[in-house]
Amino acid sequence: MTKAQPPRFSGPILTVRDLRVSAGGSELVHGVNLEVWPGERVGIIGASGSGKTLTCMAIAGLLSDGLRATGSIRLAGIDKDLIGAKESALARIRGLRTGMVFQEPMTALNPTMKIVSQVAEVMWQHARHSKRDAKRIAVELLAATGLPDPERVAKSYPHQLSGGQRQRVVLAIALANSPDLLICDEPTTALDVTVQAKVLGLIDEKVAQVGAALLFISHDLAVLAQVCDRVLVMFDGSVVEEGDVATVLTKPVHEHTISLLRDAELTGAP
Ligand SMILES: Nc1ncnc2c1ncn2[C@@H]1O[C@H](COP(=O)(O)OP(=O)(O)OP(=O)(O)O)[C@@H](O)[C@H]1O
């Protein structure tokens, strides 16, 4: 097994201050504060519509048209605030400093492009490797995600792979440049139950290998407890509770956390 990389920064990798996301006149995320330290694994839980995805999309600089973020989002080693940064600057950061895995792998993949080119592209786009080297390394990365017959997968198009195989490809792309932060939004929710655990185990292993920090959204507390050290609980656009996973899961304070845990039958709390 590859040895874990030592962290490149001594302070937080990600610092979010008073993040607010609005659509038109209505505010949907109300002043989220968050720090993620090198190698740390932070989870966000909350019921559907509580603002988890909007928070992560704002951090990734991927909010859709019509949504506006205010506040501050800073990545270690980058002078500029990501809020208000130009799309060209955000595009340089995505795939290099941050990697992303979303619920539905098909949305992250280009249906008309062979897998090998998609994995290689993120490496040569960021000038990490020549095109030829990138293709060779792409096959190695695919093999490292446990895909059977990676040479065949490399020559395939996304529709020729299963959902679990596609999510492994997305993870290979997200980690190709050894980012400092991997953002996962419900990465196993769309997968078959038997595949979920394997992909989760793979995220766990690969994040440790590249020394990345992890920001992991899930509505599934059992999943979150498996991969995260610390957790933020969101309710109605705000963080209502946070702490280390074991404490929040065993001694929840906010009524919303208690009800989430009760629904998941993970607590003995009254
Ligand atoms: N583009 C948009 N325009 C207007 N409202 C939006 C938009 N995107 C999301 N919302 C609203 O913002 C709120 C938070 O949405 P968000 O997707 O962050 O929730 P979530 O916690 O990730 O939910 P889920 O677990 O269902 O994915 C919801 O009420 C949602 O309807």
CA of 5 to the centre of ligand 1 (A): 35
pLDDT tens for each residue of 43-102: 999 988 999 999 999 999 999 999 999 999 999 989 899 998 998 889 888 888 999 999
CA of 15 to the centre of ligand 1 (A): 22
Instruction: Say how far apart CA 138 and CA 114 lie, in whole Å.
Output: 12
CA of 47 to the centre of ligand 1 (A): 11
pLDDT tens for each residue of 123-179: 887 766 778 888 889 999 999 888 889 999 999 999 999 988 999 999 999 988 889
What is the predicted ipTM?
A: 0.96
- Domains of the chain by range and CATH? 14-106+179-268 (3.40.50.300)
Cβ of 66 less than 6 Å from ligand 1: yes
